[in-house]
């Protein structure tokens, strides 16, 4: 009798589990600590069945961990971050993994004019305004979170209401960012929405620092990068776009074929950017498509690779030039150029350049943006012959 009962209980449990999978489980959350002012911070975990695990916390709607399998199935966390909120609040945090805004990247001299009114923002980067400000930029505030789980994917939506005048920006802005992971693919989708009650500039991105060999690996210079861009926006000496759009042809910014970052980065050592820190103008979206292929990154050591699709017109490639050996998660050191950012975005300082796609959001409109980071593995060339059943990548290979 008792055997019968336990068999019955086991099949009920199995059925419940199957129906949970079919209905989709919501991501789980756990406490991540408190901010300096005592606000509780939660961290949410998203998983695919193929090994991807992403963690995102409510402070700054920040991607804190991204675990990915390598070519042999070994999992490593491939983004920079901190073990606790204090790390994220410290001066050593250079926007690791955060949602960046209200306007990402730079606004020249922190000034812009909209509908005849001049606005002044904080100057926090040389002469300019960087990444939304000082105290209440989107990376520093605590967002509210709502989870969901469907049959094919699960996710968490973070929402923040930024009051009129916060960090000097006009309008009450309601902004949300949704992180989601499909069940059966190692993809991470990040999508943004925003509405306002006054015209205001909005430009949102995620500021994850990637090292596909695993965060804390010595360098990212052996990664090969491809950027789907024919042109870029040159900078002045304070990293503000001059307003020109120039061809990458014949320049060190030509990444139309996979190229090791090490190959040309030294040519920027004496330039104002001190490395790669440039906005690329992506090719237009194919007709009828919401997103365009923006960039791909490959690490031959681990066999991990990433492709980025985006609805945005630009992408900032920043080669971790200001990383200074700070000690992050698990006591790992983040050396100069040991990680890189690929930030999908509208062009920097667009609000002061009429020839750039507009970043102005008006009342009654909805700002939307989506980027998908697709992770997979490849068999590096020198091992290609040894592995069975795995395709070796040869098309568009490194120069």
H/E/C letters for each residue in 300-369? CCCCEEEEEEECCCEEEEECCCCCCCEECHHHCEECCCCCEEEEEECCCCHHHCCCCCCCEECCCCCEEE
User: Closer CB to ligand GAL, residue 124 or residue 219?
Assistant: 124
- Report the residue from 12, 75, 238, 322 that binds ligand GAL according to the rule CB under 6 A: 322
Residue 149 φ then ψ, to 5°:
-145, 125
**How far is it, in rounded angstroms, from Cα 23 to Cα 45?**
18
For residues 66, 77, 274, 109, the Cα torsion angle rounded to the nearest 10 degrees is 30
- Please state the length of the chain: 399
Is 272 an interacting residue with respect to ligand GAL (CB under 6 A)?
A: no
User: Closer CB to ligand GAL, residue 258 or residue 276?
Assistant: 276
| Least distance to ligand GAL, CB of residue 344, Å | 12
For residues 280 and 314, the answer to whether their CB atoms sit within 8 Å is yes
| Least distance to ligand GAL, CB of residue 233, Å | 12
Is 94 an interacting residue with respect to ligand GAL (CB under 6 A)?
A: yes
Is 277 an interacting residue with respect to ligand GAL (CB under 6 A)?
A: yes
Nearest residue to ligand GAL on Cβ basis: 94
User: Closer CB to ligand GAL, residue 277 or residue 299?
Assistant: 277
Annotate 281-305 with b (16+ C-beta within 10 A) or e (fewer): bbbebeeeeebbbbbbbbbbebbbb
Residues 6+ positions from 36 with CB-CB distance below 8 Å: 86, 89
Total of residues contacting ligand GAL (CB under 6 A): 11
Query: Which CA distances in Å does 183 have to 9, 50, 220, 366?
Result: 27, 8, 29, 29
Active-site residue, 398 included = no
| Least distance to ligand GAL, CB of residue 64, Å | 17
Is 203 an interacting residue with respect to ligand GAL (CB under 6 A)?
A: no
- Report the residue from 44, 82, 88, 95 that binds ligand GAL according to the rule CB under 6 A: 95
Active-site residue, 336 included = no
Q: Which stretch binds ligand GAL (CB under 6 A): 22-30, 142-150, 316-324, 327-335?
A: 316-324
**How far is it, in rounded angstroms, from Cα 311 to Cα 292?**
6
| Least distance to ligand GAL, CB of residue 252, Å | 17
Q: What is the distance of C-alpha 367 from the center of its chain?
A: 18
Q: Which of these is catalytic: 67, 207, 223, 346?
A: 207
Is 316 an interacting residue with respect to ligand GAL (CB under 6 A)?
A: yes
| Least distance to ligand GAL, CB of residue 323, Å | 8
- Report the residue from 43, 130, 227, 300 that binds ligand GAL according to the rule CB under 6 A: 130
User: Closer CB to ligand GAL, residue 213 or residue 319?
Assistant: 319
| Least distance to ligand GAL, CB of residue 273, Å | 7
List beta partners, residue 196: 173
Residue 251 φ then ψ, to 5°:
-110, 170
Is 356 an interacting residue with respect to ligand GAL (CB under 6 A)?
A: no
Question: Would you state the structure tokens that stand for residue 101, as one six-digit string?
Answer: 């805004």
CA angle at 125 for the pair 119 and 126, rounded to the nearest 5°: 100
Q: Which stretch binds ligand GAL (CB under 6 A): 79-87, 141-149, 217-225, 314-322?
A: 314-322
Is 326 an interacting residue with respect to ligand GAL (CB under 6 A)?
A: no
Q: Which of these is catalytic: 65, 166, 312, 343?
A: 343
**How far is it, in rounded angstroms, from Cα 316 to Cα 232?**
10
| Least distance to ligand GAL, CB of residue 205, Å | 8
Is 88 an interacting residue with respect to ligand GAL (CB under 6 A)?
A: no
- Report the residue from 139, 299, 312, 343 that binds ligand GAL according to the rule CB under 6 A: 343
Is 8 an interacting residue with respect to ligand GAL (CB under 6 A)?
A: no
Residue 255 φ then ψ, to 5°:
-115, 30
Is 318 an interacting residue with respect to ligand GAL (CB under 6 A)?
A: yes
Is 342 an interacting residue with respect to ligand GAL (CB under 6 A)?
A: no
Question: Would you state the structure tokens that stand for residue 282, as one six-digit string?
Answer: 């992506």
**Any idea which residue has 């499909």 for tokens?**
182
Catalytic residue numbers?
A: 207, 343
**Which residues lie near ligand GAL (CB under 6 A)?**
94-95, 105, 130, 239, 277, 316, 318, 322, 341, 343
């Amino acid at each position: 009798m008792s055997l019968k009962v336990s068999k019955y209980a086991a099949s009920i449990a199995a059925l419940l589990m199957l129906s949970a999978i079919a209905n989709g489980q919501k991501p789980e959350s756990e406490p991540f600590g408190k901010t300096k002012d005592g606000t509780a911070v939660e961290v949410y975990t998203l998983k695919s069945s193929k090994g991807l695990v992403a963690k995102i916390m409510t402070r700054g709607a920040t991607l804190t961990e991204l675990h990915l399998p390598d070519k042999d199935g070994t999992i490593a966390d491939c983004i920079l971050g901190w073990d606790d909120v204090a790390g994220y609040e410290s001066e050593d945090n250079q926007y690791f993994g955060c949602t960046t805004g209200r306007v990402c990247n730079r606004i020249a001299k922190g000034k812009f004019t909209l509908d005849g009114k001049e606005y002044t923002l904080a100057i926090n980067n040389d002469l300019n305004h960087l990444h939304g400000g000082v105290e209440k930029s989107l990376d520093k505030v605590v967002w509210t979170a709502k989870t969901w789980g469907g049959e094919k994917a699960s996710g968490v939506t973070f929402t923040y209401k930024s009051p009129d005048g916060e960090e000097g920006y006009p309008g009450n802005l309601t902004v949300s960012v949704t992180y989601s992971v499909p069940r059966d693919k190692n993809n991470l989708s990040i999508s943004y929405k925003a509405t306002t009650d006054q015209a205001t500039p909005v430009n949102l991105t995620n500021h994850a620092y990637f090292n596909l060999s695993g965060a804390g690996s010595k360098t990212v210079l052996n990664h090969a990068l491809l950027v789907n861009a024919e042109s870029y926006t040159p900078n002045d000496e304070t990293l503000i776009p001059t307003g020109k759009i120039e061809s990458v042809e014949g320049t060190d910014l030509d990444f139309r074929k996979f190229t090791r970052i090490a190959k040309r980065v030294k040519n920027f050592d004496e330039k104002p950017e001190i490395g790669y820190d440039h906005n690329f103008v992506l090719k237009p979206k194919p007709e009828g498509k919401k997103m365009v292929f923006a960039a791909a990154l490959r690490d031959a050591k681990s066999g991990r690779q990433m492709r980025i699709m985006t609805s945005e017109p630009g992408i900032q490639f920043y080669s971790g030039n200001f990383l200074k050996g700070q000690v992050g998660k698990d006591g790992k050191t983040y050396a100069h150029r040991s990680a890189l950012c690929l930030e999908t975005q509208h062009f920097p300082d667009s609000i002061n350049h009429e020839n750039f796609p507009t970043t102005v959001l008006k009342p009654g409109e909805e700002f939307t943006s989506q980027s998908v980071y697709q992770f997979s593995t490849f068999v590096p060339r020198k091992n290609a012959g040894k592995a069975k059943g795995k395709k070796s990548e040869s098309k568009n290979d490194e120069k």
